Amino acid sequence: MIFRARDWLFEFPRPALVMGIVNVTPDSFSDGGRFLDPAAAVEHALQLEAEGAAILDIGGESTRPGAAPVAEEEELRRVLPVIRQLAGRIKIPISVDTQKPAVAQAALDSGAAIVNDIAANRVDDAMWRLVARARAGYIAMHMQGTPQTMQSHPEYDNVVAAVRAFFVERLERLAGAGVAPEQVALDCGLGFGKTVAHNLTLLAQQGQFTSLRRPLVVGASRKSFIGHASGERADQRWAGGLACACWAVAAGARIIRTHDVRQTVEALRMTENIQAAT
Ligand code: 8Y7
pLDDT in tens, 45-97: 999 999 999 999 999 998 888 888 899 999 999 999 999 999 989 999 999 99
Task: Please indicate, yes or no, whether the overall pTM of this predicted structure exceeds 0.95.
Answer: yes
70 CB-near residues (< 8 Å, 6+ apart): 25, 60, 61, 62, 78
Active-site pick, 194, 223, 237, 254: 223
Half-sphere exposure (CA, 13 Å, Cβ side) for 158?
Answer: 6
pLDDT reported for residue 29:
63
Section 11-20 average pLDDT? 98
Name the residue of 97, 117, 216 to mutate for ligand 1: max ligand atoms within 8 A of Cβ.
97
pLDDT reported for residue 36:
77
Distances (CA, A) of 150 to 110, 115, 135, 206: 32, 22, 31, 22
pLDDT, tens digit, 9 for 90 and up, residues 118-147: 988 888 899 999 999 999 999 999 999 888
pLDDT reported for residue 152:
86
> What does the angle CA 95 – CA 89 – CA 32 come to, to the nearest 5 degrees?
50
pLDDT reported for residue 30:
67
93 CB-near residues (< 8 Å, 6+ apart): 5, 6, 8, 55, 56, 112, 113, 114, 137
Q: Ligand 1 centre from 189 Cα, in Å? A: 7
Query: Which CATH architecture does the domain made up of 2-277 adopt?
Result: Alpha-Beta Barrel (3.20)
Domain assignments of the chain as residue spans, ordered by start: 2-277
Confidence of residue 213 (pLDDT cuts 50, 70, 90): very high
CB of 219 sitting under 6 A from ligand 1? yes
CB of 97 sitting under 6 A from ligand 1? yes
Three-state secondary structure call for residue 269: helix
Chain mean pLDDT for the chain: 95
68 CB-near residues (< 8 Å, 6+ apart): 148
**Beta strands 2-5 and 8-11: pairing type?**
antiparallel
pLDDT reported for residue 32:
65
Q: Is the pLDDT of residue 171 over 70?
A: yes
Q: Whose CA is nearest to atom 4 of ligand 1?
A: 219
